[in-house]
């Protein structure tokens, strides 16, 4: 980090609209800022992190996403230096972190519990890290003021943590970890302790602040929506493994495994066998669902391979009349309807008993649904909608 | 006495009794009903009774004995039984005479023995408190940071000595510290010394005895505060660039201050008035107020001066006790948040 002043907070900014260079991971000339190489961590017989390798680039807001016990927090704690890898190396800005204790790493962490010092005021909490570096008093005052203004907490600077609301405490924790201008800021479930409405507001604010200060963020979260709205890239983790790394759109539109497809958003899975492997498309015979599915963008898959085809509910259409093309269409009866206002969710029961979920936008104004319970319907989707999953 | 519509209680009970027996109530239950009715007439609810009980206890076993001691401290010594002059007397059966004798307190102030004994008691108690803190803090810290399954057994080990009589434990120290005791034999056996050292009947022995006996009172409150300390706070300190020892000084120590104060007062207050340990382990010149008090009561049979010594000690200790109360209530308020 350079020693330039942090710019003052400005108005709302859309998440995912990144002012820094858009996709450094696409640029072969760009060196990764954080390199995790073959890192494993075992606790006794339990393997929390299993041979993980990752590259994170400067200015990214990188998310580690997964359920509880997937190893995301252990990985974050290894970046902070609270845990030592059993195997592998972590490099931050080219420096091997193996022998460097937490108090000497150019890394700061925002704790899930915030871990504010209860006996210190807001100001003293934020100044704590600067005092450790023996920054001169005048500069400490200046930088603390700057950081508190950034998180809009300047009026509360003399308060103690127990006199603040949950949202204010969260912002103190953020200011305290930002004020040292670390090379890497680690956020452990930064929004988990906030209520839903505040969480949504804070998502925007956090992305906004990250863009202003330009610090590389690594965030741990179990909330896929949070990861989707905030991140430049997401690493989905399961059982100590990184299952897939990609931008939110890549993860959502092109999941590489059943785990990712089912973990992120809603998905319909059709089991089947590849019957045609052409240059620009693959056809899967989904016997249980009673249809053939054409997937237009798939790579080559050998004929006879057993696969699953994943189709997102919002890419499907629902109609009472039979479609012209028997491919990419299933038929069943409406089992459940959930009216959400802007859209409706239909659960369709197929002949084999399995359920298909369809999300249809409510484009026209209606007080009575054109399709109702127990109606026999046809569900169709275009050839580009499906994704072939081999695992 | 009896107004219209109001019957004397006796009347009411005697008239009500047949009706109650008729409804089939046993005598115990009848007593309860009558008692509740009486309490109701006096404006007492069950809640006030619950609060009143501990007050009654304190009144009976603390305030009344205290008043007696206070009374004796103002009277004059007599060779009689009891060995002091009454404070209040009917003179010629006509008028009441109250004789308040402040001489006992004056005597305490004038004889330098008492001032020296008070000061020495405070010094011994203060040094012992510091020793308990220095020994107890690492122990409490160690237990609080031990794996959860270890904590209870370790705490049991701290509390275990209480299951043996206090007196026997102090006697055990005589066995360790005496001329041909365990400690001297060990040191001679190791070749550290040629001649046994005089440990027993010195101030050193008193410090050992008090520190040993009161250590659990220091460890337990310290453990309670240290155990509640969020380990994430120390991680946060390290994360912000604070080395472990400095993190201890800036985070752990200030946050364990309530435990340090509670433990220190729990050791200091009883140690000031300690009698058994200086009597058994201390030398003839170990001057502590507890021994002075004992001598006044049993050797000199000067109950008024002994009572004055006790009252003066209490006044000395009221300040730290009040401080302790204040800290406790403040901590409770903080916990309630």
- Domain boundaries defined on chain B: 9-72, 103-336
Query: Based on the domain organization, do A271 and A250 belong to the same domain?
Result: no
Minimal Cα–Cα distance from A84 to chain B, Å? 14
Nearest chain B alpha carbon to A129? B240
pLDDT score, position B337: 53
Mean pLDDT for A336-359 is: 88
The three-point CA angle A356-A361-A365 to 5° equals 130
Query: Based on the domain organization, do A279 and A208 belong to the same domain?
Result: no
Domain boundary residue, one of A196, A230, A258: A258
Q: Which of B275, B270, B319, B267 is nearest to B294 (CA)?
A: B275
Domain boundary residue, one of A258, A276, A294: A258
CATH number of residue A332's parent domain: 2.40.50.140
- 8 Å CB contact of A118 and B254: no
Mean pLDDT for B234-246 is: 94
Please report the number of interchain residue pairs, chain A to chain B, with beta-carbon separation below 8 angstroms: 60
Q: Are strands A329-339 and A343-350 parallel, antiparallel or unpaired?
A: antiparallel
Chain A residues near residue B259 by CB distance under 8 angstroms: none
Minimal Cα–Cα distance from B235 to chain A, Å? 7
Query: Based on the domain organization, do A291 and A382 belong to the same domain?
Result: yes
Q: What is the ipTM of this complex?
A: 0.80
- 8 Å CB contact of A132 and B240: yes
pLDDT tens digits along B172-226: 999 999 988 899 999 999 988 888 889 999 999 999 999 999 999 999 999 999 9
Query: Based on the domain organization, do A375 and A312 belong to the same domain?
Result: yes
- 8 Å CB contact of A117 and B243: no
Nearest chain A alpha carbon to B232? A115
Q: Please identify among residues 271-330 of chain A the ones whose CB lies closer than 8 Å to any CB of chain B.
A: none
| Among B239, B243, B255, beta carbon nearest to A108 | B239
pLDDT tens digits along A161-203: 999 998 899 999 999 999 999 999 999 998 888 888 888 888 8
First to last CA, chain B: 54
Q: Which of A228-242, B190-204, B315-329 bottoms out in mean pLDDT, i.e. has the lowest?
A: B315-329
Distance between CA atoms of A283 and A275, rounded to whole angstroms? 6
pLDDT score, position B76: 85
Examine the pLDDT at A145 and tell me if it is beyond 90: yes
CATH architecture, domain defined by B103-336: Orthogonal Bundle (1.10)
Query: Based on the domain organization, do A100 and A198 belong to the same domain?
Result: yes
Domain boundary residue, one of A242, A258, A274: A258
Is A193's Cβ below 8 Å from some Cβ in B?
no
pLDDT score, position B92: 77
- 8 Å CB contact of A118 and B255: yes
Number of domains in chain A: 2
Comparing A92 with B11, the larger pLDDT belongs to A92
Query: Based on the domain organization, do A307 and A189 belong to the same domain?
Result: no
Residue A129 maps to a domain: no
Across all residues in chain B, what is the average pLDDT? 85
Nearest chain B alpha carbon to A110? B236
- 8 Å CB contact of A119 and B254: yes
Minimal Cα–Cα distance from B243 to chain A, Å? 6
pLDDT tens digits along B138-173: 999 999 999 999 999 999 999 998 899 999 999 999
Q: What is the DSSP string of A193-211?
A: TS-HHHHHHHHHHHHHHHH
Minimal Cα–Cα distance from B231 to chain A, Å? 9
Examine the pLDDT at A377 and tell me if it is beyond 80: yes
pLDDT tens digits along B30-49: 777 777 777 777 766 777 87
Query: Based on the domain organization, do A276 and A299 belong to the same domain?
Result: yes
Examine the pLDDT at A36 and tell me if it is beyond 90: yes
Minimal Cα–Cα distance from B251 to chain A, Å? 7
Query: Based on the domain organization, do A273 and A220 belong to the same domain?
Result: no
Q: What is the DSSP letter of A280?
A: S
Is A370's Cβ below 8 Å from some Cβ in B?
no
The torsion of the CA quartet B166, B170, B173, B178, rounded to 10 degrees, works out to -160
Residue A1 maps to a domain: no
Percent of chain A with pLDDT over 90: 48
Chain B residues near residue A119 by CB distance under 8 angstroms: 254-255
Alpha-helical regions (H) of chain A: 72-80, 122-132, 137-150, 166-178, 196-213, 224-230, 248-253, 258-263
Examine the pLDDT at B327 and tell me if it is beyond 80: no
CATH number of residue A101's parent domain: 3.40.50.300
Query: Based on the domain organization, do A252 and A330 belong to the same domain?
Result: no
- 8 Å CB contact of B240 and A180: yes
Question: In terms of pTM, does the model score above 0.80?
Answer: no
Is B236's Cβ below 8 Å from some Cβ in A?
yes
Query: Based on the domain organization, do A186 and A88 belong to the same domain?
Result: yes
Residue A4 maps to a domain: no
Query: Based on the domain organization, do A348 and A236 belong to the same domain?
Result: no
pLDDT score, position B239: 94
pLDDT score, position A22: 61
Which residue range is the domain that position A299 belongs to?
266-389
Please answer whether residues B7 and B15 qualify as being in contact, where contact means their C-beta atoms are separated by less than 8 angstroms.
yes
């Amino acid at each position: 980090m350079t020693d330039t002043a942090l710019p003052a907070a400005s108005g709302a900014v859309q998440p995912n609209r990144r002012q820094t260079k858009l996709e450094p991971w696409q640029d072969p000339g760009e060196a990764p800022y954080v390199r995790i190489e073959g890192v494993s961590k075992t606790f006794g017989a339990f393997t929390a992190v299993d041979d993980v390798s990752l590259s994170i680039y400067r200015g990214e807001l990188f998310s580690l996403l997964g359920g509880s016990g997937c190893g995301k927090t252990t990985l974050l704690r290894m970046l902070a230096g609270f845990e030592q890898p059993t195997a592998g190396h972590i490099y931050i800005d080219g420096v091997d972190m193996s022998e460097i204790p937490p108090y000497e790493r150019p890394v700061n962490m925002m704790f899930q519990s915030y871990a504010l010092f209860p006996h210190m005021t807001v100001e003293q909490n934020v100044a704590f890290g600067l005092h450790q570096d023996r920054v001169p008093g005048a500069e400490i005052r200046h930088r603390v003021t700057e950081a508190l203004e950034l998180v809009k907490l300047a009026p509360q600077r003399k308060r103690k943590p127990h006199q603040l609301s949950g949202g204010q405490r969260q912002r103190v924790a953020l200011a305290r970890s930002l004020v040292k201008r670390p090379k890497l800021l680690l956020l452990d479930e930064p929004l988990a302790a906030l209520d839903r409405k505040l969480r949504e507001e804070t998502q925007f604010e956090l992305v906004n602040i990250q863009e202003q200060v330009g610090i590389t963020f690594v965030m741990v979260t179990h909330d896929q929506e949070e990861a989707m709205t905030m991140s430049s890239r997401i690493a989905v983790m399961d059982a100590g493994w990184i299952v897939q790394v990609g931008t939110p759109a890549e993860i959502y539109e092109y999941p590489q495994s059943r785990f990712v497809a089912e973990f992120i958003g809603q998905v319909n899975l059709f089991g089947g066998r590849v019957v045609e492997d052409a240059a620009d498309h693959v056809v899967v015979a989904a016997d249980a669902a009673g249809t053939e599915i054409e997937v237009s963008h798939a790579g080559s898959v050998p004929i006879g391979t057993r696969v699953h085809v994943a189709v997102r509910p919002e890419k499907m259409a629902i109609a009472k009349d039979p479609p012209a093309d028997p491919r990419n269409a299933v038929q069943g009866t409406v089992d459940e309807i959930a009216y959400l206002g802007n859209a409706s969710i239909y659960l369709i029961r197929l002949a084999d008993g399995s359920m298909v979920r369809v999300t249809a936008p409510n484009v026209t104004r209606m007080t009575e649904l054109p399709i109702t319970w127990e109606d026999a319907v046809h569900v169709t989707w275009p050839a580009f909608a499906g994704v072939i999953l081999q695992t | 006495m009896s107004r219209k519509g109001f019957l004397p209680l006796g009347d009411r009970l005697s008239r009500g009794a047949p009706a109650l027996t008729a409804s089939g109530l046993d005598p115990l239950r009848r007593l309860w009903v009558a008692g509740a009715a009486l309490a109701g007439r006096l404006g007492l609810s069950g809640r006030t009774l619950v609060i009143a009980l501990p007050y009654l206890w304190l009144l009976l076993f603390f305030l009344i004995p205290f008043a007696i001691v206070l009374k004796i401290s103002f009277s004059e010594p007599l060779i009689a039984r009891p060995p002091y002059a009454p404070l209040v007397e009917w003179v010629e059966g006509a008028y009441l005479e109250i004789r308040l004798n402040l001489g006992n307190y004056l005597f305490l102030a004038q004889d330098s023995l008492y001032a020296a004994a008070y000061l020495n008691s405070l010094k011994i108690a203060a040094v012992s408190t510091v020793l308990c803190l220095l020994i107890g803090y690492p122990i409490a810290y160690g237990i609080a940071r031990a794996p959860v399954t270890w904590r209870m057994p370790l705490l049991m080990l701290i509390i275990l000595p209480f299951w043996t009589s206090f007196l026997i434990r102090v006697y055990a120290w005589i066995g360790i510290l005496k001329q041909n005791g365990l400690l001297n034999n060990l040191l001679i056996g190791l070749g550290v010394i040629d001649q046994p050292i005089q440990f027993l009947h010195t101030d050193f022995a008193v410090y050992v005895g008090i520190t040993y006996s009161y250590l659990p009172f220091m460890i337990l409150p310290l453990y309670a505060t240290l155990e509640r300390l969020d380990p994430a706070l120390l991680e946060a300190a390290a994360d912000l660039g604070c080395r472990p020892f400095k993190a201890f000084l800036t985070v752990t120590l200030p946050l364990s201050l309530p435990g340090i104060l509670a433990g220190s007062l729990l050791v200091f207050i009883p140690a000031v008035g300690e009698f058994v340990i200086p009597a058994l382990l201390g030398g003839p010149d170990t001057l502590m107020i507890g021994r002075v008090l004992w001598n006044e009561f049993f050797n000199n049979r000067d109950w008024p001066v002994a009572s004055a010594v006790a009252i003066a000690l209490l006044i000395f200790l009221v300040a730290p006790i009040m401080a302790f109360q204040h800290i406790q209530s403040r901590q409770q308020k903080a916990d309630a948040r």
